[in-house]
A and B are shown apart, each in its own frame.
Chain A
Amino acid sequence: MPGWLMLAMVLVVAGAGFWLGQRRAAGFVAELGTRVGVVHSRPNHHGWFVAAAAFVPALVVIIVWAMVGDRVVGAAVEAELPPGTVPEGSLERVAFLADVKGVARGTFAAGFNPATEAAAAIWRAVEGRYSLLAGVAAVALALMGALWALTRLAPDFRARTRVEGLVMAVLILASTVAILTTLGIVISLVFESFRFFQLVPVTEFLFGTQWSPQIAMRADQIGQSGAFGAVPLFWGTIFIGAIIAMIVAVPLGLMTAIYLTQYAAPGFRAVAKPMLEVLAGVPTVVYGFFAALTVAPLVRDLGLWLASWFPLLDPDTVTAQSALAAGLVMGIMIIPFISSMADDALTAVPRAMRDGSLAMGATTSETIARVLVPAALPGIVGGVLLAVSRAIGETMIVVMAAGLAANLTLNPFDSVTTVTVQIVKLLTGDQEFDSPKTLSAFALGLALFLVTLMLNIYALSVVKRYREAYE
């Protein structure tokens, strides 16, 4: 019996229970009247109580079956097969059973091992038997729950209190998902990073200037732990995300916000703001494609042209995958973000400050530069910090437009690589589990997570304190 059928049948039982419970409770009301205190709960509450009593225990059975079902069936199939069919060794065993399951369900045309064909038939039979058992158990439990609940119904039965208690439990459960996610992130990153730091010392990772994880692929080589000095990665991330992108985005975003809040007519603002929101809603993979296809060749040509004028710039270091191209496009991506943060900060400045300055005879630009911006500065700085945190965590633009070479360079036309690029490169394609190469991606992820977390917490506290100052 497939899982959806179990669920559907249990839902039917629960629905019938709801209807019966509601009918019985409606009977109480018809009999005793609606006077306060005679019938405690409304008919719907009685109905929900019966439905919940039917559904919740059966749901537990279905979830347990969904989680352990395959393992139970696998063990049973193994027991039924003639000895020697299932290969020795835990990995081979698991692979064999997965093949059998795939063939039995029709997802694979055939398994590697010729024995899977016969085993698949057994799998189908065993799974049919066991899932029927689980389905019958679930439905029986639902029926028993519904019957038990129906016997409990009485005019003074507090069905509403029970149902609302369940609702509250569900609400609290939902609110813990966020904490579980955070915990999941922290635990998985710390756990894998810990394994990485058993292979590679923390100091080498944090202070080493050589990054070449590829060497780690070859176990026989001298120094097979590879070079895992992440400084060039950190530098590349900062160079692209915190320096070049911000040089583009901060002035443009701030001036845009100033123009839209202080100068633009309401009609213009009504058109311009959604336009910036469109810019913010464009997926980063589109920016990445734009950077690689259009901006990068232009930047390379510019670099080559500059190199022909300035002997300081070595034309050999001008690459198509330059830091400048990636940073420039990332800056464009960040403009709407900074603009909207600065917009909020500027409009939060009390109107009296602006009016006072204008009344003293200052022009609008003088008011902005000497009163509004200084007053809004904490909010603007907080916004810029959030933008930096977003830029260094941004992945697709740098994956598509920045390079893979881990260079420590100040030359914007040269290629640098970032933390996110390396995570993607290390974890896509062929993976070797437990190799330092794969684990290093998690260490990089941990570093990225911690830095963005600290930036966010600090920036949010700055913004919050600033808002409180004017409220």
Chain B
Amino acid sequence: MSEALTAAAPAHGRAAPTEWGSREMQGRLRRRYAAEQRFRLMGIGAFLVAAGFLVILLVTIVSAGWNSFRSAEVQVPVVLDPVTLGVAPDERDPERLARADFQAAVAESAARAGLPPFVVSDGGWLAVRERLASDPSLLGQTVPMWLTAQSHIDLLAKGAFDLESDESERAVSDLEVETFRALKAEGKLRLVLNRHFLFGADSVDPELAGIWGALKGSFLVLVVTLALSFPVGVFAAIYLEEFAPRNRWTDMVEVSINNLAAVPSIIFGLLGLAVFLNTFNMPRSAPVVGGLTLALMTLPVIVVSARAALKAVPPSIRDAALGVGASPVQVVFHHVLPLAFPGVLTGTIIGLARALGETAPLLMIGMRAFITSVPQGFTDPATVLPVQVFIWSDNVQRGFVEKTSGAIIVLLLFLLLMNSVAIFLRNRLEVRW
């Protein structure tokens, strides 16, 4: 008892807990401030880790992918021999010229120029056909032409391999490296804009694979998604926000919308497979089915954001319109909806951006097909950009790594564009009340 009393007494050399100047207090404060600093550093550290991952991700993708926009071409003196081409010596009919055997002519020309068979791509003859179509008088002559190189030569030209390492440790043989060095020394190798990548569809050869087919497939899918989910979503939002009576039915609608917004996307794929493909017998791999499936997935996003936009319109607008004699439907369609439209549009674009990046549900409805032609309509077999990324990432050929990253760059650019438009609309058009 007496000990406790003396312990608290300042006379015995110990400061009271509230004595600011005491050494204990100062020490405690220092510790607390140090803890404060540590906590703060942890906070900024966590943010930097998250931001760092984003930077690493982007740097990895861009550094691996930007090369896919260039491709190597080899100069070959192409002998346009009518006999090899299988056409008459004075053939001028463009249709018959287009059907000539260019593969044989290119193979023979490459062999005559002393090039091993692994130099010129299987699609190298396309340039020859184009050239001959533009100038049929070249028939019978020998013309030096730049032809697309095969994947390994292409990768060597871009410096993708460590040439110092042993042959067994890299994917290219010494013979390929020798050929590449010789071609480069003679100036018969150049890097140009990769037209196959930008304007072509999928191919078994990495140097010929392109994203245009997938890009157009994505576009077709998004058109269907927008055409279905936008009107239905906005109408549903108008009904729920402006007209719906509060009853059990409305509650059920609200609950199902909130839950659909959080259902894993692959479940929508299962729905599409079971309903659209197996029950309604719609075509597999078709953009229309992909669009339908993604529309169901995008619908809740649009409904939720459209409701928020409608709710943000102040009630005084509605009261004023009703006061001058507008009917409830007129109030909504003449006054509330136009004012809420920027917000509705922003939500729609964000929903569509999500749909553009979606992969899993489209795998379920067979859009993971190997499709070498650009889709022409809503029922043609097609693939979409993210699925193309997935297909290429699965391919073991070395040349597809940069194609995958290149397709990701294009995908991210489109997402960036859509999100920028959404942010622009939000900032420029949205009225703050």
Chain A residues within CB distance 8 Å of chain B? 107, 160, 164, 167-168, 170-179, 181-182, 184-185, 188-189, 191-192, 251-256, 258-260, 262-263, 272, 274-276, 278-279, 281-290, 292-294, 332, 335-336, 339, 363-366, 368-369, 386, 389-390, 392-396, 399-400, 420, 423-424, 427-428, 433, 441-442, 445, 448-449, 452-453, 456-457, 460
Contact = CB atoms under 8 A, between A and B. Distances in A.
Given A252-B50, A396-B359, 17 more contacts: A175-B253, A178-B260, A181-B260, A259-B40, A279-B54, A285-B386, A286-B61, A293-B60, A366-B36, A390-B262, A392-B264, A393-B267, A396-B390, A400-B390, A400-B393, A453-B259, A460-B258
A394 B39 CA distance: 32
B329 A181 contact: no
A143 to B, nearest CB: 26
A285 to B, nearest CB: 5
Contacts of B35: 363, 365-366
Contacts of A339: 50
Given A177-B299, A282-B412, A335-B50, A182 B235 contact: no
Contact of A171 (B32, B60, B243, B358): B243
A178 B253 contact: yes
Contacts of B296: 181
Interface in B256-300: 256-260, 262-268, 270-271, 273-275, 278, 296, 299-300
B232 A258 contact: no
Identify whether the interface residues of B are mostly helix, strand, loop, or mixed. Answer: helix
A284 B357 contact: yes
Interface stretch (B1-9, B200-208, B360-368): B360-368
Given A286-B61, A394-B264, A171 B393 contact: no
Given A292-B393, A294-B60, A263 B235 contact: no
Given A332-B50, A363-B32, A457-B259, A176 B393 contact: no
Interface string B130-167: 00000000000000000000000000000000000000
B48 to A, nearest CB: 9
Identify whether the interface residues of A are mostly helix, strand, loop, or mixed. Answer: helix
Interface in B341-375: 353-354, 356-360, 363-364, 366, 368
A424 B259 contact: no
A427 B260 contact: no
Contacts of A258: 43
A285 B357 contact: yes
B265 A255 contact: no
B45 interface: yes
Contacts of A172: 239
Contacts, number: 251
Instruction: List the 3 closest A-B pairs by CB distance, nearest first.
Output: A393-B264, A283-B357, A259-B43
B44 A259 contact: yes
B57 A256 contact: no
A251 B243 CA distance: 43
A389 B278 CA distance: 28
A457 B258 CA distance: 9
B267 A448 contact: yes
B171 to A, nearest CB: 15
A448 B368 CA distance: 23
Given A259-B44, A452-B264, A396 B360 contact: yes
Nearest to B278: A433
A435 to B, nearest CB: 14
Contacts of B328: 164
B173 interface: no
A363 B244 contact: no
A127 to B, nearest CB: 16
Contacts of A292: 393
Nearest to B47: A256
Nearest to B257: A178
Given A289-B408, A290-B60, A400-B390, A177 B267 contact: no
B232 to A, nearest CB: 5
Contact of B46 (A255, A294, A364, A457): A255
Contact of A276 (B50, B56, B333, B408): B50
